[in-house]
Structures are given as C-alpha cells and as structure tokens.
Amino acid sequence: MQKAPVKNLYEALIIIKPNLSDDDIEKNISQVESAIKNYGGNIVRIEEPVRRKFTHKIKSFKEGYYISFLFNAPPESPNTLKRTLIISDDVLRHVVLRREN
C-alpha cells in the first residue's frame, strides 16, 4: 500500500499593481491558482482583492491589491510558487508561509 503524499497548510499573500483592470486582477488570481494546482496543491480559500495604501513606496507605487491564498501543498511546492511569483511583472511583493493545521 502506498502512503499518501504529505501536504502542509500554507498561506500566500501577494500584492499586485494598483493600475490593473478587473480582468487583469482576475487573470493574476487564476495564474496563481493554476500554479498551486500544478505543483500538487489544492486551494482551501482565496480572499477577495483589497486595495490598500503602503506606508512607503514599492517599485514607485503608493498602493496595491492584497490577495491571500490558503492552500494545502507538498513541502516543495512553496519554493516553486515563490519562483513563479518573482518573475511575474504584476506582483509587487509576495510571502508564502506555512500555517499550523
């Protein structure tokens, strides 16, 4: 009998550019969601995008859309997801954290 792969609970918070259209925001959410699924994860919850002001400029922007993803994934998935987020032009900042179950 084969063991089920270990999956941990993670939260990814991404901040995307404030000058994007609603369609572009949805496209970015779909891309992150697809990436998580492609890396063996499954989505638990996606928070609605919230526009917030920054305390200091990030890449010349004073505000951005915050989007939180809660997902289960194998231990190697967060590093792969981080590499995907780094190369995205629309993502200003991101953080992926392991949550306790």
Q: Which amino acid is at 25?
A: I
Which ranges in the chain belong to alpha helices (H)? 22-38, 77-86
What does the pLDDT average to over 22-30?
A: 96
Number of domains making up the chain: 1
Which range marks the domain in which residue 37 is found?
20-86
Phi, psi of 89 (to 5 degrees): -70, -30
Question: Which residue would you say has higher pLDDT here, 32 or 2?
Answer: 32
- 1 located within any domain: no
Under 8 Å between Cβ of 29 and 46:
yes
- 6 located within any domain: no
What's the pLDDT tens digit per position in 41-94?
A: 999 999 999 999 999 999 999 999 999 999 999 999 999 999 999 999 999 999
- 39 located within any domain: yes
Confidence check: pLDDT of 10 > 70: yes
- 57 located within any domain: yes
- 2 located within any domain: no
- 4 located within any domain: no
- 99 located within any domain: no
Query: Among candidates 54, 52, 28, 33, which has minimal Cα distance to 44?
Result: 33
CATH number at residue 66: 3.30.70.60
- 94 located within any domain: no
